Chain A
Amino acid sequence: MATPSERWQRRARQTRRKINCGWCLQVCATPVVGVALGLLGPALWARRVWPEAAPPGLAWVTGAALAVIVPGSWWLARRRFVTAGDALVRLEAQLGLHNRLSTAAAGVCPWPPLPDRADDGIRWSFSNTFLPLLAAAALLAAAMWVPVKARMLPAAPDEPAAWAATEDDLRELARQDAVAPESLDETQQRIAELRAQAAGKWFSHASLEATDKLRESHLQAMAELQRQLRMAAQSATRLAGDAAGELPAPTRAGLQDQFKQAVQGMQAGGMKPNKELLEQLRNIDPKQLRQLDKAQMEQLMQGMKDKAEALGKCLCRKAGDGQQQEGEAVLTESSDGPGKGGVDRGPGTTPEMFGEPANEVAAAQPQVLDSGDLTRALPGDVLDVTDSKHEVEMTSPALRTSGKADVQGGGGSTWQESLHPREQESVKKFFE
């Protein structure tokens, strides 16, 4: 059973806690509202820029701010804190005890009994306590949940498609081990140099020109290597197949030269084949090809075939992808056509193009029809175009009109005698 002293002291501690809590709330109200206000703008901006990362980040920042503000407020409010003795004074003043509690605490008189309802008379001020906190919470909620349009970040500009296509080729060739790595490195290096320019210059005239040259030379090198591989394979096959020596000597010599030229071309070309294959081809004497056993021959042929196929694959891809010009690709990407964009999308602009629209119907130009079915040709269709000299009659024509022949007479009598009356009238008018 607690004594009156203990009961009063406990009651005083409750009052003290309430007052000290009030001080803490008063001190922290301003910074809390300030932080909430300060966070509002950056939070909305962050949600616009980083829609996914902003809410957790805001929660962390808010938590960190509270972790600083609350202890800081306690520290600042500490000097205003009341003691249990102060709380006792408030209680005795509120309860009209004529300072009996202070007197009892001094040991002058006994403690009075604690009434059933010892109200300290201290009430929370809603406007001063909860309004700032509610305002801060509302601001933070607004920062967290007010709908914000996520900013469309500028996409990294697409690089010229030729770079990617060339790099795909290089990767494919490297994967197939079809070409000597040194041959690929040079091209790769040039692409890297082009890419090292400022992104805004990737599609400059000079850059596109360099890109086209690079792509062209790359394709040419691949085509050349493929051609030489095929040529070497073809001549080697025929030479190897002539085990019985049935080929006439000039033909054989021609095939041997062809093989040799192909190997030399591979060695001197911009794109060299696999080093192992090249070494193997170089060590083969075309005259001795007939003496290679079947397995060796098959291995050699398979090697050349694989490399040629790899090159062909890259070249085929070029044939499919190369239809679209660089400029058109860029324009297509950058145009705001329908079906793209977000809620503010519009009808979009018409696709841009370089130059005048092409005249689809070239009616004035004769074209050759592929169809060989001449029975279905229509009148006016050009059935054939030949390239030949015109047949010119070298002899002087002798004009004879109405039974008169005047080869030497000049044109004077011609227009008078051979023209129709209306024509004659026109000529006459001209010379007047």
Chain B
Amino acid sequence: MTHSLPTDAEIAAGSAKVRALLEAMNEVLYGQEDLIEAVVTGLLARGHLLLEGLPGLGKTELVKGLSGAIGMQTKRVQFTPDLLPGDITGNPVLQEVDGRRSFVFQPGPLFASLVLADEINRASPKTQSALLEAMQEGHVTVLGETHPLPQPFFVLATQNPIELEGTYPLPEAQLDRFLFKLDVRRGDSATLQKIVLNREIGRPPVVAQVMTAAELSGLIDLARRLFLPEVVANFIARLVDATHPGQSKASAQVRYGASPRAALALAAAAKARALIGGRPNASFEDVKAVALPVLRHRILLDYQARVEGRTSTDVVLALLAEVPTSAADLPRTLHTAPLAATHG
């Protein structure tokens, strides 16, 4: 894989644009700075995101604000059990023109740059598959005819961790298609106060557009071109490998570990985070920062872990503590002092 490394000026400009986007988003969603940064990181890594959280925490608002800030075409689909694949991909419609009848493809809601798949776990597996095929391939096929989706194409799916009656949990293979799985948490009282003071029911917030879809594509390309040091790639590889049973202490109760796609996702997300930070390279810190949203939905725990109440989040945190950044071990005669304050 050869591509030219970005210059410092390009990186600085790109970082500035991303920061402007983050600021704009923070104007819309109060107290969710980390979530917003994670979402933007996911976009810059060209990934689809799965947001999990209780109703009313601002998931939909987040997506709407994002679409407004970027100026991308956005569509929202509320997933229900009776939703059919054709309802989201589009259907051929019989049309008569000059006395001749023919099927004309009518694009569904997937044909947008930013698709909000609300409560994706309520749709049937068939519909979920249609969506996930579009996410993976970047096109849809209807009646043997392939229709490319607009680029960039992002799916931001949400799911509710409660009210699981009548839902269809996403299979692991499909979860793997999501770059991040983000937990949306409620804000503290100060955040709530801010929301109460600045927002009203029924009046959606107005978000200023800070960049275009083309500029976002440029930033995505810029992030992809950032330098990934070999030692960081080695750390990613060891981290992903350690998720498999028997490869580490932390993975003792893991049934299935993360796939190579997880390693690619980690690298892409680390680069995207480096761009946000205005750095020319991805680093250990970037990998550690994105490891939790990248890995936690890709690790399947065994029955014993579930009985004990362990979650994949616990496993990922344990892995981060266990796997050293440097491949070269330290002898027992030496130990590492606590990390110094971040330099530079």
Contacts and interface: CB of A to CB of B under 8 A. Distances in A.
Interface in B264-304: 274, 277, 279-286
Nearest to A109: B280
Contacts of B277: 98
B339 interface: yes
B281 A99 contact: yes
B330 interface: yes
Contacts of A221: none
A381 B198 CA distance: 152
B197 interface: no
Contact of B334 (A97, A112, A119, A123): A123
B323 to A, nearest CB: 12
A60 to B, nearest CB: 28
B331 A98 contact: no
Interface in B204-222: none
A222 B314 CA distance: 110
A125 interface: yes
Nearest to A126: B333
Interface stretch (A85-93, A248-256, A423-431): A85-93
Nearest to A121: B337
B302 to A, nearest CB: 33
A94 B333 contact: no
B88 to A, nearest CB: 41
A125 B286 contact: no
Nearest to A106: B229
Contacts of B229: 99, 102-103, 106
Contact of B328 (A19, A109, A124): A19
Given A106-B227, A108-B5, A25 B333 contact: yes
Interface string B305-344: 0000000000000000000011111111111111111111
Nearest to A119: B340
Given A80-B331, A86-B326, A100 B344 contact: yes
A119 B344 contact: no
B331 A22 contact: yes
Contacts of B274: 98
Given A86-B327, A90-B326, A115-B343, A19 B230 contact: no
Interface in A1-58: 18-19, 22-23, 25-26, 29
A112 B229 CA distance: 16
Nearest to A95: B343
A217 interface: no
A99 B231 contact: yes
A82 interface: yes
Nearest to B282: A99
Nearest to B232: A99
Chain B residues touching A, range: 35 or more
Nearest to A77: B331
B340 A95 contact: yes
Nearest to B325: A93
Nearest to B326: A89
A128 interface: yes
Nearest to B279: A98
Contacts of B285: 96, 98
A121 B284 contact: no
A121 B283 contact: no
A129 interface: yes
Interface string B43-54: 000000000000
A148 interface: no
A112 B329 CA distance: 26
A122 B330 contact: yes
B339 A23 contact: no
Nearest to A93: B325
B281 A18 contact: no
19 contacts: A23-B331, A26-B332, A80-B328, A80-B331, A86-B327, A93-B284, A94-B336, A96-B340, A98-B274, A98-B283, A98-B286, A99-B281, A106-B229, A119-B337, A121-B337, A122-B337, A128-B332, A129-B333, A129-B334
Given A119-B337, A121-B340, A128-B333, 6 more contacts: A93-B284, A94-B340, A100-B283, A106-B227, A121-B338, A122-B330
Interface of A: 18-19, 22-23, 25-26, 29, 80, 82-83, 85-86, 89-90, 93-100, 102-103, 106, 108-109, 112, 115, 119, 121-125, 128-129
Interface of B: 5, 8, 227, 229-232, 274, 277, 279-286, 325-344
